[in-house]
Amino acid sequence: MLWHVIKRVAFYLLVIGIVFISIFPFYYAIITSFKSGTALFEINYWPRSFSLANYTQVLTTGSFPRNLANSLLIASVVVAISLVLAVTASFALSRVRFAGRSLLLFTILAVSMFPQIAVLSGLFELVRFFGIFNTPFALIFSYMIFTLPFTVWILTTFMRDLPIEIEEAAIVDGASPWVIITKVFLPLMWPALVTTGLLAFIAAWNEFLFALTFTSSNNTRTVPVAIALLSGATQYEIPWGNIMAASVIVTVPLVVLVLIFQRKIISGLTAGGVKG
């Protein structure tokens, strides 16, 4: 009996440990973001002061609001384009048998695991050639390299599991493949589209290497680069309060979205992982 109790206590201690370690850094960022002045440099474990100074400073001075708008625009357009391209492509990959299909699927998987640095110099040349350096288009274009393979892959695994009967009925009625996609499959695919869209949005929202390389002015940057390069009045003074406020602003929407859609996100992640 005692042994049983000890085991139970140990298990719950482990559970509490997992939850604490997962959440503590974000909690600490939030309480730091509400501190201002010298309070910032006192170490507190519990919220002591409440000041919105960091938030007003981040949102009213500098280019951070503009960076937020950039990120929002770029991530949304990237999601829209990748989903449109991926829906038709994954229909072909999942529902039609043709020579070279496995090779194509394997290539797409390989591209999704690609080191982005390996294409950086070639992409840089291309971005300059198109004349889109330091514009949102450079990032929308380059982000396709990671959102597209991964949306195609997840939507393909999803569509492969839809029953064949619904498609057969449509074929017998003389529906063309385009009609089958838009009228038969699309209405069934909303859950999968939400999941993939959300995962693609998060990936685009968080991207750093391309954003750092293909933009060069404060007004064209996205939030990750803006946060990484946020500096104070002097080079030696790191504005920790502002950095934490900006971090909380970009993270809270993500955390809320992820918690709302957690089941869908987990199934999407594992579809991209375990099944392929």
Partner 1 sequence: MAIAETVDDAEQSAGSDLFRQRIRSAWLFLTPMLVVLAIVAGWPLLRSIYFSFTNASLTNISAAEWVGFENYLSITTLKSGRVIYDGLLVDPLWWKSVWNTVRFSVVSVISETIIGMMVALVLNAEFRGRGIVRAAILVPWAIPTIVSAKMWAWMLNDQFGIINDILLNLGLISQKIAWTANPDTAMLAVLMVDIWKTTPFMALLILAGLQMIPGDIYEAAKIDGVHPVKVFFRVTLPLVRPALMVAIIFRMLDALRIFDLIYVLTANNAQTKTMSVFARENLFDFDKFAYGSAASTMLFLILTVITVVYIIVGKVNFEGGR
Applying the rule CB under 8 A, the residues between 6 and 45 that interact with partner 1 are: 11-12, 14-15, 18-19, 21-23, 25-26, 28-29, 32, 40-41, 43, 45
Q: Which residue has the tokens 């206590």?
A: 9
SS3 76: helix
For residues 243 and 222, give the distance between their C-alpha atoms in angstroms, rounded to a whole number.
14
Q: Which residue has the tokens 């909303």?
A: 190
Q: Which residues inside 86-115 make contact with partner 1, applying CB under 8 A?
A: 86, 88-89, 91-93, 96-98, 104, 108-109, 111, 113-115
Q: Which stretch binds partner 1 (CB under 8 A): 59-67, 72-80, 184-192, 251-259?
A: 251-259
CB 94, CB 159: distance < 8 Å: yes
**Per-residue tokens: 25:** 């850094």
Q: What are phi and psi of 139, to 5 degrees?
A: -80, -40
Q: Which stretch binds partner 1 (CB under 8 A): 53-61, 62-70, 82-90, 183-191?
A: 82-90
Q: Which residue has the tokens 């991926």?
A: 86
Q: What are phi and psi of 162, to 5 degrees?
A: -75, 145
Nearer to partner 1, 24 or 219 (CB): 24
End-to-end CA distance of the chain: 45
Q: Out of 59, 73, 77, 126, name the contact with partner 1 by CB under 8 A.
A: 126
CB atoms within 10 A of CB 244: 23
Nearer to partner 1, 61 or 262 (CB): 262
Q: Which residues inside 212-231 make contact with partner 1, applying CB under 8 A?
A: 212-213, 223-225, 227-228
Nearer to partner 1, 25 or 187 (CB): 25
CB 195, CB 261: distance < 8 Å: yes
Asked whether position 136 contacts partner 1 by CB under 8 A, the answer is no
Asked whether position 199 contacts partner 1 by CB under 8 A, the answer is no
Asked whether position 172 contacts partner 1 by CB under 8 A, the answer is yes
CB 91, CB 170: distance < 8 Å: no
Q: Out of 164, 187, 190, 217, name the contact with partner 1 by CB under 8 A.
A: 164
For residues 9 and 16, give the distance between their C-alpha atoms in angstroms, rounded to a whole number.
10
**Could you tell me the smallest distance in angstroms from the CB atom of residue 32 to partner 1?**
7
Q: Which residues inside 48-77 make contact with partner 1, applying CB under 8 A?
A: none
SS3 28: helix
Asked whether position 273 contacts partner 1 by CB under 8 A, the answer is yes
Q: Out of 162, 206, 218, 264, name the contact with partner 1 by CB under 8 A.
A: 206
CB 218, CB 62: distance < 8 Å: yes
Q: Out of 116, 135, 182, 218, name the contact with partner 1 by CB under 8 A.
A: 116
Asked whether position 187 contacts partner 1 by CB under 8 A, the answer is no
**Could you tell me the smallest distance in angstroms from the CB atom of residue 77 to partner 1?**
14
